[in-house]
Amino acid sequence: MMVSVQFPGALSHLSKSYNIDSKKYWDEFIRELLGSNYKHLFSNETPKEYVLLYLNGSKIESLKEIALKNEDSLHILSAISGG
């Protein structure tokens, strides 16, 4: 299945579509993708106060327990990075 992710600022090089083979949850996928950079945007599965999440155009409060679905699109916006 294909999902796309848009990251802010210095993480924008990771913004692209990803082919995901297994059933995963968004929080698990983003944590693996960002590695040590995860702590700059999230505190556990909750975005920091300067971060907004939009999944398929709808604002969400957390990535916790949201399963990845084919053609999902996640936009992560940050007030401190201009993006």
Question: Does the residue 43 lie in any domain?
Answer: yes
Looking at the chain, the whole-number percentage of residues with pLDDT higher than 70 is 96
pTM: 0.90
Query: Does 57 fall in a domain?
Result: yes
Residue range 51-77: average pLDDT? 96
Q: Which domain holds residue 67?
A: 2-78
Assigned domain for 56 exists: yes
Cross-sheet strand order for the sheet of 51-55: 16-19, 2-6, 73-78, 51-55, 58-60
**Residue 11: what pLDDT?**
93
Per-residue pLDDT tens digits for 60-71? 999 999 999 999
Domain at 39, CATH number: 3.10.20.30
The position carrying tokens 């579509």 is: 17
Does 71 fall in a domain?
A: yes
The answer to whether residue 83 sits within a structural domain is no
Could you give the number of structural domains in the chain? 1
Give me the pLDDT at residue 21, please: 79
